[in-house]
A and B are shown apart, each in its own frame.
Chain A
Amino acid sequence: MDVLGILIPVSLLLGGAGLAAFWWMLRKGQFDDPEGDAHRILREDYDDHPK
């Protein structure tokens, strides 16, 4: 069971990293327009100036 001493902190760290990534995406507005982003990526207009 000693391995728990390593696994629990590791799992918490990984989960925390996921939480931080989510916070970053929220700040960057990546959930504001999921449908539009899915379409935008198919257009060439935005290749040079993504927005």
Chain B
Amino acid sequence: MTAFADPQHPSACPACDAVPLAEQVAGKALDNARLMLALPGIHCAACISGVERLLCDQPGVRAARVNLTLRRASVDAEPGVTSEDLCAALNEVGYEAHELDPGLLAATDMDARGRALLMRLAVAVFAMMNVMLLSVAVWSGADGVTRDMMHWISAAIAIPAVLFCGQPFYGSALAALRAGRLNMDVPITLAIALAVGTSLYETMLSGEHAYFDAAIALCTFLLAGRYLDHRTRANARSAAQELAALEVPRALRLVGPGTETVAAADLRPGDLVRVLPGGRIPVDGRVVEGCTELDRSIMTGETLPSAAAPGCTVHAGEANLTGPITVEVTAAGRDTELARLGDLVAVAEAGRSNYTSLADAAAKLYAPGVHIVAVAAALGWFAYTRDLRVALNIAAAVLIITCPCALGLAVPAVTTAASARLFRKGLLIKDGTALERLAEVDTVVFDKTGTLTDGAPEPLGLDQLDERSARVVLALAQGSAHPLAQALEGGLTGRGIKPARVEHLQEVAGFGVEGEWEGMRVRLGRSGWVGGGAGVGTTATYLRIADGSAQALTFADTLRDGALELVQELQEQGKRVVLLSGDVAPAVESFAARLGVQDVISEARPEAKAEAVLALAEEGAHVLMVGDGMNDTAALAAAHVSISPASALEAARAASDMVLTGRSILPVVDAMQTARLSRARIKENFTIASVYNLLAVPLAVAGLCSPLIAALAMSASSLSVSLNALRLR
């Protein structure tokens, strides 16, 4: 029932969004009371108490509670406790845990709107049961004073109930009429108002037909649909806002001998800015002093730190890891690449809300049709009988019969059943129409690093390394915390190699590790720094002993769980698979060869990724984008539908329609299959609902529709679409 919801348009200007968001983030940091973790692996009572005990033992945690139904834990903690620490602690003892996107929390316990809807639904069910019970007496032949009494009691229950329960529809219908359009809520509101109005009038005149039961039943079924729809809808958060929050508001400007803190927006090209280790770079610029390693995952998606020395260009949003540097500003504020990326994402997000769902398409056909039929029937009967009371009764009957109970349930019931099924398989759906869009997909675009790979590099050819070098490499690797060094250490220790005795071990930030072994100088690190040999194309580190030639130790990315099967499965289904990476061409191509992917786009900057996705869309392809990094965000937002793994960055998760909850990427196949099934079910449901309407409308127009027939038709069609949807589980 997406036709009813107001799409949340993200503002086109990320900077305007950034201010409140930055304040919100700052507020969060101070009062960091509630953290949410996703726990896809838990399944039993022992898991619950295990996780809760472990979390409560962490320093700074006040209380923790596991929700097994939703597979998540909420943690009450002091400021300063981060989800990363808690996830790491849980992973250590074998519980898979991820930080949960707060945008996904709308559908959980804290949600006031969901509770209000449920309360309205409960009141509607209560009133419907009572009114139906009273109506049974009328249907079975009560007449005279008894019938009037039943009608009056029904009115006393139904009128307040309808007034209270129907508020969501009245509000939305009013808003639509004010804007000069028709949505499904307009005929609903009209039907309820007309049914209650004519029934009250009839009751006053001791008439035979009263539709109080129909009016309240209508509310009940529609509220059920609305509630299901609400549950599958997560709070739409704008990825552009998330990106804007990454902009660093303050910078340290060099003034004479000292520094002063200024707003990043006040910086001008040519200013010198100091960036300390652990800080984010506030501007685009060039390093003029200092050596360090940068986390450039924002722009390139590359998870390995890259070295920066004087002369290197740096971008806003990149994190400085090891040493202090001085940067000469070339662009600040709105001119940085990060800000441009934010604009790009905002444009893509605004474009996406143009999607017309099946429910919207049905509503567009349906709403005017109903009004035309009802007005025509009323006019016809008025011309024929010259009796306004009869004409109004007929109009009310037509509106009640055609009221979209089944239409309102058709989509949300299917989406709910499908989300429940996918949730069990490890996938969270954030958008109600995501499944419909996923069913249309014919091209799948994957990001490489972090999506198809695990991010952890795997050293190659360690067995070819001679014993002597291997022991030196291990000793040197132990002296560094660099991911490549740690991968080497893990690989060599696993092969039972003992480290050599290397003295004067020293790490040179951004270059590598050096030491002294049996009186010779040994170095492990970048090719230029180690010297004595040309570099190879792929990810590698180099070992040089004394003045010998440098040996390259190459690395390959480890495949994520299920990546190979996923790609093969998709190709078997005849989908076009594209690998789209910001990494260097040789690395991407060798990786694509491993997976058997032919379409490869490498060295793509963030905007190039989005353009590539849009180019595919222009060729007529419906693109599913699977990505995890900041650099994928624009592409994720631009794609027809998008999925990100649980390990993805917050902005990427905000931009995508579905989030994988587990480590494996294989559920994507299930998602596509379920999406096709659910689209088929939705269409079946529309057919069922239309058949009921087509059968009952002639009766209503002919004036043969008693309240009993109306009640039967309405319940039967609603029940059949719900049962049909349940087949999906």
Question: Interface of A with B (CB < 8 Å)?
Answer: 1, 4, 8, 11-12, 15-16, 18-19, 22-23, 26, 29, 32-36, 39-40, 42-43, 45-46, 51
Contact = CB atoms under 8 A, between A and B. Distances in A.
Given A4-B149, A36-B66, 18 more contacts: A11-B130, A12-B157, A15-B129, A16-B126, A19-B126, A22-B122, A26-B122, A29-B109, A32-B69, A32-B109, A33-B67, A33-B70, A36-B48, A36-B67, A36-B69, A43-B45, A43-B48, A43-B49
Nearest to B145: A1
A51 B65 contact: yes
A46 B57 CA distance: 17
B118 A26 contact: yes
B153 interface: yes
Contacts of A15: 126, 129-130
Given A11-B133, A12-B130, A39 B44 contact: yes
A35 B69 contact: yes
B58 interface: no
Interface in B47-99: 48-49, 65-70
Q: Is the interface of A mostly helix, strand, loop or mixed?
A: helix
Contacts of B134: 8
B48 A8 contact: no
Interface in B673-709: none
B146 A42 contact: no
B108 interface: yes
A42 B45 contact: yes
B118 A36 contact: no
A23 B130 contact: no
A27 to B, nearest CB: 8
List 4 tightest A-B contacts by C-beta distance, closest first. A36-B68, A39-B45, A35-B69, A32-B109
Interface residues of B, number: 27
Contacts of B153: 8
Given A35-B68, A35-B69, A39-B68, A23 B119 contact: yes
B123 interface: yes
B231 to A, nearest CB: 12
B157 A34 contact: no
Contact of A32 (B108, B123, B146): B108
Nearest to A16: B126
Contacts of A35: 68-69
Contacts of A8: 134, 153
B729 interface: no
A18 B126 contact: yes
A34 B119 contact: no
Contact of A45 (B49, B130, B149): B49
Contacts of A11: 130, 133
Contacts of A18: 126
Contacts of B126: 15-16, 18-19
Contacts of A29: 109
A26 B112 CA distance: 11
A43 B67 CA distance: 15
Nearest to B118: A26
A30 B231 CA distance: 17
Nearest to B108: A32
20 contacts: A11-B130, A15-B126, A19-B126, A22-B122, A23-B119, A26-B119, A32-B67, A34-B69, A35-B68, A35-B69, A36-B48, A36-B66, A36-B67, A36-B69, A39-B48, A42-B45, A43-B49, A45-B49, A46-B49, A51-B65
Nearest to A9: B153
B250 interface: no
A32 B119 CA distance: 14
Contacts of A36: 48, 66-69
Contacts of B66: 36
Contacts of A45: 49
A3 B70 CA distance: 49
Contacts of A26: 115, 118-119, 122
Nearest to A27: B115
B144 to A, nearest CB: 11
Nearest to B129: A15
Contacts of B149: 4
Interface in B108-124: 108-109, 115, 118-119, 122-123
Nearest to B157: A12
Contacts of A39: 44-45, 48, 68
A7 to B, nearest CB: 10
B85 to A, nearest CB: 23
A19 B146 CA distance: 27
Contacts of A4: 149
A40 B118 contact: no
